[in-house]
Chains A and B, each alone.
Chain A
Amino acid sequence: MGTVRYYARIYVMIVAQYVKARMQYRLDFFVSTVAMLMANAAGILFFWVLFKTIPRLSGWSYPELLFVYAYSLLSLTPLQMFFDNVWQLKFHVQDGSFIRYYLKPLNMMFYYMSEVFDLKGLSHLFLGAGAMVYASAQLHLSWSPGKVVLLCLSVFSSALVMISILIMSASVSFWVLNSHYLTIFAYKLRDFAHYPLDVFNRPLQVLFSSVVPMGFIAYYPSQLFLRARGSLVPIVASPAVGVLLFVIACGVWSLGTRKYAGTGS
């Protein structure tokens, strides 16, 4: 417990410094927040336009898809807010500044990720929560306290899926210097988390449930709350998948940091 308090205190201190530094670019902060909101709303607009023409998408109604989309926004919030520094890893590794993370008596991933705290990630949270409330009302879902707790737990685990995928892809830069495009590719896959997996054919469904487990960001876990389709196994297993992936990602990260030798300057 003492460790947790120690880390929480340090986190607040580092973030406070970061916020001060960011205040230098106030105009950018405003533009970025608006842009982030727009990017997230664009996905909703896509479905809205589509459902003007068709009544159902592979058996899914508009509010059901909206629910899945809202779930995916919620589960991408922690990645955006607390792990955004993952994008800079390549640059730190290339110019050697990554070496300083070895020099503090802190968990390296914690120290590294704590250096960026992205407030605009809150736009995911607000838009996601808003869309979920709207979709639940349309679908007449009843939310008991138990279900809300389940939602929090499952969102926590789903959040770890994308976090782990990005950490692993960024960690490649410890071995191969230019891994940025791998990270961009991995991040692009996130877009497919918004669609119901059952529009794809069998091989792709298997792919998105195993090698690139995008299905666990929103599609499977959101069915804990909607009526379930197909096999129950991935739906029930979904809360464990994120945690498992995160353990693997931490392993890859620490292997990478042990391998990294700096740039010699």
Chain B
Amino acid sequence: MMRYLGVTRNAMMCGFTYRLQFISSLLGNLVLIVVTYFLWRSIYDHASPTLAGMSFEQTFAYLALAAALASIFRTWMEWDMSRAIVNGSVVMTLAKPIDYQTYLFFQNLGAVINNFATLALPSIVFVVAVFGIHLDLGVNIPFFAVAVVLAGCIAFTIDYAVGLMSFYTEIIWGLSTAKDVIVMLCSGMVIPLGFYPADLRRVLEWLPFRAIYDVPLTILTSRGMTVAECGHLLGLQLAWALAGTLAVKMLYRCAIRVVTVNGG
């Protein structure tokens, strides 16, 4: 365990060497939130005070927090994985007496902690300070915290699966872009799932992607969620996290056979 935490520490230190990256990523995030605010303000101003059962305050809180969560989960891990395949350095990791997935998980954890401290936290402070978030907070806060952790695990699993698939394609751009688009559209990241037509929503409820954004955000922004309802949503996330972990373990078994590294 300690050696894995060492990996996390290393990843955090590496992240700190690129300060310009923080500033521009943070700026990008803030611009995104400002644009989201005006876009939805304008949508609500020209329509009714509640759309799809959500007030403007709820929708904005949902989407602003989605942007904050997205900045936490975006670690470019699958890019690093594919780079390691192309330049061959992956063998150095595979030769070590450690589990590849666990190693990447803890390395990713370092990046996630960095992202939380340098991107998500300042973004949330900015939103609260500039726009204010009007939500009924209470019992849902601890549930939200657990939901975010589980969401992070699911996001990791998906990124890891995409990284493993690059063992076959060697280049990651297409896979990673496709994954980003699917997650973005199916998870509620850019438009709350409540806005989707009922048929489409029923399909999305059977997919794992909503467990990343929609579940934690619904727990936080819905009024009058009961403990049982929160528990049900967390159970759903847990099921997806376990199923995903099993699936990537199997994918790893297949993918590891095709790794070819030329010379050294």
User: A residues touching B (Cβ–Cβ < 8 Å)?
Assistant: 25, 27-36, 38-39, 42, 45-46, 49-50, 52-59, 176, 178-182, 184-185, 188-189, 192, 195, 199-201, 204
Contacts and interface: CB of A to CB of B under 8 A. Distances in A.
Interface in B183-223: 184-185, 190-191, 195-197, 200
Given A29-B174, A184-B28, A199-B38, 18 more contacts: A28-B169, A28-B171, A30-B174, A32-B171, A32-B173, A32-B174, A35-B174, A42-B185, A49-B196, A52-B197, A53-B47, A53-B195, A54-B43, A57-B42, A57-B43, A185-B27, A188-B28, A199-B39
A25 B24 contact: no
Interface stretch (B29-37, B98-106, B123-131, B240-248): B29-37
A91 to B, nearest CB: 11
Contacts of A27: 168-169
B178 A31 contact: yes
A178 B22 CA distance: 12
Nearest to A30: B174
Contact of B184 (A34, A42, A56, A59): A42
A contact face: mostly helix, strand, loop, or mixed: helix
B226 interface: no
A35 B178 contact: yes
Given A34-B178, A195-B35, A199-B38, A59 B46 contact: yes
Interface of B: 18, 20-21, 24-25, 27-28, 31-32, 34-35, 38-39, 41-43, 46-47, 51-52, 168-171, 173-175, 177-178, 180-182, 184-185, 190-191, 195-197, 200
B51 A54 contact: yes
A204 B20 contact: no
A209 to B, nearest CB: 15
A176 B178 contact: no
Contacts of A178: 18, 20-21
A113 B57 CA distance: 46
Contacts of A180: 21
Nearest to A33: B174
A192 B37 CA distance: 13
A34 B174 contact: yes
Contacts of A49: 191, 195-197, 200
A219 to B, nearest CB: 13
A50 B46 CA distance: 13
